[in-house]
Chains A and B, each alone.
Chain A
Amino acid sequence: MALSIVHRATGVALYVGTLLLAWWLIAAASGPAAYAHVQAFTGSIIGRLIVFGYTWALMHHMLSGIRHFVWDLGYGFKANEREALTWGALIGGIALTVLVWIIAYAIGGGR
């Protein structure tokens, strides 16, 4: 599995994505008009796709990072363990992303 490049790619995506996070916080601090711009963007199809992608990048990078913590501590180096950790991060990242979005829509975030 060559998933370390995905860890890196999601990291770079999250790096750029902090601009969206900063924009959102600054808008909230600026006033209703600025905040409405952010909401218009995150509510659009493109905006939603980007935020969905951002959620996945964050979830995957976190789980993939935990995998690295396990290795840092000296565990999980056997071939089957490496495979399990990698698949766990891959499937877990997708599962958590879907879960977060289901909850978000359930509590009315989809309006």
Chain B
Amino acid sequence: MSATDTPKRSMRTPLGRVRNLGAAHSGTSDFWRQRITGVAMTLLMIPVIVIVMMLLGRNQAGAAQILGSLPIAVILLLFIFASAWHMKIGMQVVIEDYVHNEKLKLVSIMLNNFFSIAVALASTYAILKLSSGV
């Protein structure tokens, strides 16, 4: 890399740098987020299991009441957010490892984003609806 190629001075986009096999200077962000979300879910695992146990054998009214309480809703929202992000990154790694056709890879990565965001938003909406008691 020449001196003019440093991120501060350069007018090249991150993609431009990557295409010329330079560093995009954001290559570790997914790695790091994968770890943050993984640690978060590990910490949340016991509370989440307890919540699921609390719901066993209850009907919808009972389940809705428990899921609508503030601490439980917050724990589940954190877990949903962390899992959606974690699984989006994880699946992208799997796609990049096994799908070698560029177009198919692009479509797969896009669908992966759609799926992860849809699952996260649908679950979040359900929790918020339960919390507001509508």
Complex CA–CA separation, A86 to B2 (angstroms) = 44
Decide: A18 near B67, CB < 8 A? Known: A29-B129, A32-B61: no
Interface mask (A78-111 → B, CB under 8 Å = 1, otherwise 0): 0000000000000000000000100110011101
B74 contacts chain A at the CB level, 8 A cutoff: no
Q: How big is the A interface, by class? A: 20 to 34
Cβ contact of B87, chosen from A15, A25, A28, A66, cutoff 8 A: A15
B24 contacts chain A at the CB level, 8 A cutoff: no
Q: Could you say which residues of chain B place their CB within 8 Å of the CB of A46?
A: none
The B-contacting residues of A in range 8-25, CB under 8 angstroms, are 8, 11-12, 14-15, 18-19, 21-22, 25
Q: Tell whether, in the assembled complex, residue A8 and residue B94 are in contact, meaning their CB atoms are under 8 Å apart.
A: yes
Q: How far is the CB of B46 from chain A (nearest CB, A)?
A: 11
Decide: A62 near B123, CB < 8 A? Known: A11-B87, A29-B130: no
Q: Say what secondary structure dominates the interface of chain B.
A: helix
B71 contacts chain A at the CB level, 8 A cutoff: no
Cβ contact of B122, chosen from A26, A35, A111, cutoff 8 A: A26
Q: Tell whether, in the assembled complex, residue A31 and residue B60 are in contact, meaning their CB atoms are under 8 Å apart.
A: yes
Residues of B in contact (CB 8 Å), total: 31
A residues with CB within 8 A of B:
8, 11-12, 14-15, 18-19, 21-22, 25-29, 31-32, 34-36, 62, 65-66, 68-69, 72, 100, 103-104, 107-109, 111
Q: How far is the CB of A103 from chain B (nearest CB, A)?
A: 7
Which of B3-11, B13-21, B37-45, B102-110 faces chain A? B37-45
Q: Tell whether, in the assembled complex, residue A18 and residue B87 are in contact, meaning their CB atoms are under 8 Å apart.
A: yes
Q: Tell whether, in the assembled complex, residue B42 and residue A26 are in contact, meaning their CB atoms are under 8 Å apart.
A: no
Taking CB as reference atom, which chain A residue is nearest B98?
A8
Complex CA–CA separation, A15 to B38 (angstroms) = 14
Q: How far is the CB of B73 from chain A (nearest CB, A)?
A: 11
Q: How far is the CB of B10 from chain A (nearest CB, A)?
A: 31
Complex CA–CA separation, A103 to B53 (angstroms) = 8
Q: Tell whether, in the assembled complex, residue A35 and residue B60 are in contact, meaning their CB atoms are under 8 Å apart.
A: yes
Complex CA–CA separation, A28 to B131 (angstroms) = 11
Q: Could you say which residues of chain A place their CB within 8 Å of the CB of B70?
A: none
